Amino acid sequence: MAYYNIEPNIQNASQYVTNTSNDDYQSLTEFYKRYAEYHGYISVFVCTFGIISNLANIVVLTRKNMVTSVNMILTWLAVADTLKMLDYLPFVTKFYILKDPDLQYFQTRSYSAIIFLLFHASFSIVCHTVAVWLTTALAIFRFLFIWFPTYGNVWCSPFRAKIVICSVYISIMVLSIPNYAINSYSHQVDNETDLYMSAKSESLKDKWFDDANQYIHSILFKLVPCFMLTILTLLLIYAMHKAYKKRQELKSVGRKEDADRHHEHNRTTGMLLAVVVMFLLTELPQGILTLIVSSEPEWEAKVYNKLGDVLDIVALCNNAVNFVLYCSMSKQFRDTFVRIFCQCCPADGVGFLKVKLNTTANGNKNYMATLNNGQSNANASYV
């Protein structure tokens, strides 16, 4: 019976590598084999949670009261993360959980499965890289808002955010062309090589495409965004420190409302900073390894491929955790989420009253009592 095996040109997916005679890498090989037995089940759980949570992010962030330039970037970041996990879920199910025990990893007797594997090898890189660069754009927008408050709203308008989002998606798809070209598979019958089939023409599978793919992947997809995220992270931390000192000064002179406004502003920056830092922690090790592989090709088989599953699951966790960050650090996000998904009581039902007490400029006090469904129930004032 024939089976298909993908050639070792696919990046961003762990590939099967037989044991080498080098004792220095024996423990890493054993770790790779042991973890591969659990990787499929862990990934299915993370992907399922991530798909649901990112869809919730998209629904909440696209509400009218949530539409800002930063939230537009966060929305399309959630789209990229969702697409990546929708692609990774069938991949890990087929090639890990339902793997034929008689075959090695990424070998299959199904022609359609190997075609999907070729698609996954390119599509996952595009989605992941789009998410990385959108995170970089997010950090740049927040930096401009903080450091240039007078011009920040102009430079980072919703229209410019749309241009940035479109530019990122289109440019990453174009820059990934060398990666599309080099991926291929082999066709074997009865454990003997019968013929070699390429997913692209042989003229495209030359050293130029391979080198171009290596440098684009290591420099533009990894190192450049990692460097930019590192600098922007330090600047955002410094900005938060300045904002904290400003808030303390405002509180000391009795300007509590201004201090509270600065505090909420700082919390938003902190939430976005957490998103940026998590991406940086995920991408920086991959960027360093990719650069080493570019200069030391033997590291790909000995180290990079054996850590592929771990790098994948760390990236997936990063894609899935943004919902938790938004809920824990943004009151506006929580309130909008509750209003959309947690309306358990009927609109005409009777519930508890919420009373809000306000003091007017002339010293009069008034209160507004509302039902738990948000409808006004009473309005009165007293001196």
Q: Taking residues 264-287, what's their average pLDDT?
A: 77
Higher pLDDT, 92 or 290: 92
Q: Taking residues 184-207, what's their average pLDDT?
A: 49
> Hunting for tokens 């007490």 — which residue is that?
357
Indicate whether 243 and 377 sit together in one domain.
Answer: no
Indicate whether 38 and 121 sit together in one domain.
Answer: yes
Q: Taking residues 71-100, what's their average pLDDT?
A: 92
**98 occurs within a structural domain:** yes
User: What is the count of structural domains for the chain?
Assistant: 2
Indicate whether 314 and 378 sit together in one domain.
Answer: no
Please state, as a whole number, how many other Cβ atoms lie within 10 Å of the Cβ of residue 205.
18
180 CB contacts (<8 Å, ≥6 apart)? 122, 200
Gap between the Cα atoms of 232 and 140, Å rounded:
7
**347 occurs within a structural domain:** no
Residue 310 corresponds to which amino acid?
V
Indicate whether 286 and 371 sit together in one domain.
Answer: no
Contact at 8 Å (CB) between 305 and 17?
yes
**329 occurs within a structural domain:** yes
Q: Measuring CA to CA, which residue among 43, 57, 133 is closest to residue 86?
A: 43
Contact at 8 Å (CB) between 16 and 104?
yes
Indicate whether 104 and 176 sit together in one domain.
Answer: yes
Both structure tokens of 222? 């990894």
Q: Taking residues 102-107, what's their average pLDDT?
A: 76
Taking phi over 0 as left and psi of -120 to 50 as alpha, with beta for the rest, 190 belongs to: left
pTM: 0.76
Indicate whether 207 and 238 sit together in one domain.
Answer: yes
Which tens digit of pLDDT belongs to each residue from 28-61?
A: 888 888 888 899 999 999 999 999 999 999 999 9
Indicate whether 315 and 373 sit together in one domain.
Answer: no
Which CB contacts under 8 angstroms, 24+ apart, belong to 296-303? 300/8, 301/8, 301/17, 301/20, 302/20, 302/22, 302/25, 302/28, 303/25, 303/28
Range of the domain at 310: 2-341
Question: What is the chain's mean pLDDT, rounded?
Answer: 75
What is the pLDDT at residue 86?
95
